[in-house]
Amino acid sequence: MITDFSKPTPPSLDKRWRLVDATMRRLGHHSHGLIEALHTVQETFGFLDEGALRYVAISLRVPFSRAFGVATFYQFFTLKPAGEHTCVVCMGTACYIKGAPQLLSAMQRDLEIKPGETTADGRVSLLTARCLGSCGLAPAVVYDHEVAGKVSPTDLRDRVKKWTRHDS
């Protein structure tokens, strides 16, 4: 058993690691704070990379495999940085029967990427959501954290075109 425990060094000198430290401290550096700590990392840096996972794992004294297991088990966590803009198509039941599959396939064709991927120029990430809970507005799409309801393929294309145009 390891009894000697010194504070690990953050992966970089970035001051934002203090936010992550604060979350872990608030939960007493207990292993049950793992998911909360990963939430803070993702909120702060946008994604979880290996360095971040290792740092959190060492700080909370859990094996790296457990941190990696949790990070890949939950759909909300992402190991890759997102594009400059994100377009989330809701695939909840109400949206599905009101035409979300058509929205998604239009985007897949236009952007030439699959859901979960980012365009090669790093401009747009295409994502899907299980359900946004905005079923009254089906089909719903989230453009950069802003929910839009009753979206048609044309609306969606026009909006995303603005992002992909290289002069914007």
Partner 1 sequence: MTPEELEQIAEEERAAQGEVPHHINVCVAAGCVSCQSSSVKEAIDKEIVNRGWEQKCKSKGVGCMGLCAEGPLVSTETGTLYQHVVPADAGEILDSLEASPVDRLICRTDVPFFQRQKKIVLENSGIVDPERVEEYVGASGYGALINVLTEMAPSEVVQEVVKSGLRGRGGAGYPTGLKWSTVAKAAGQQKYVICNADEGDPGAFMDRSVLESDPHRVLEGMLIAAFAVGASEGYIYVRAEYPLAIKRLRTAIRQAERIGLLGSNICGTRFSFRIDLRLGAGAFVCGEETALIASVEGRRGTPRPRPPYPAQEGLFGCPTLINNVETYANIAPIIRNGGEWYSQIGTEKSKGTKVFALAGSVLNTGLVEVPMGITLREIVFDIGGGIPGGRAFKAVQTGGPSGGCLPSQFLDMPVDYESLAKAGSIMGSGGMIVMDESSCMVDVAKYFMDFCMTESCGKCVPCRVGTYQMNELLARITGCSATTQEIILLEELCDLLRNTSLCGLGQSAPNPVVSTLRYFADEYKAHVEQKICPAGVCGHEGKEAS
Angle, CA 73 vertex, CA 94 and CA 13 arms, to 5°: 115
Total residues in contact with partner 1, by rule CB under 8 A: 47
Query: Residue 133 — φ and ψ, nearest 5°?
Result: 75, 15
Please identify, using beta-carbon distances, which residue of 100 and 124 lies nearer to partner 1.
Answer: 100
Contact residues for 151 (Cβ-Cβ < 8 A; gap 6+)? 103, 139, 140, 141
Residues in contact with partner 1, shown as a per-residue x/- string from 54 to 93 under the rule CB under 8 A: ------------x--xx--xxxxx-------------xxx
* Count of Cβ atoms closer than 10 Å to residue 75 Cβ: 10
Please identify, using beta-carbon distances, which residue of 18 and 32 lies nearer to partner 1.
Answer: 32
CA distance 13 to 21: 13
Please identify, using beta-carbon distances, which residue of 150 and 162 lies nearer to partner 1.
Answer: 150
Please identify, using beta-carbon distances, which residue of 108 and 164 lies nearer to partner 1.
Answer: 108
Give least dist CB 33 to partner 1, A.
Answer: 6
* Residue 143 within binding range of partner 1, rule CB under 8 A: no
* Residue 48 within binding range of partner 1, rule CB under 8 A: no
* Residue 149 within binding range of partner 1, rule CB under 8 A: yes
* Nearest one of 134, 83, 148 to 111, comparing CA atoms: 83
* Residue 45 within binding range of partner 1, rule CB under 8 A: no
Please identify, using beta-carbon distances, which residue of 10 and 153 lies nearer to partner 1.
Answer: 153
* Residue 115 within binding range of partner 1, rule CB under 8 A: no
Distances (CA, A) of 74 to 16, 19, 131, 156, 165: 23, 22, 15, 28, 33
Catalog residues that contact partner 1 under the rule CB under 8 A: 30-36, 38-39, 66, 69-70, 73-77, 91-94, 96-99, 101-102, 105-106, 109, 129-138, 140, 146-149, 153-154
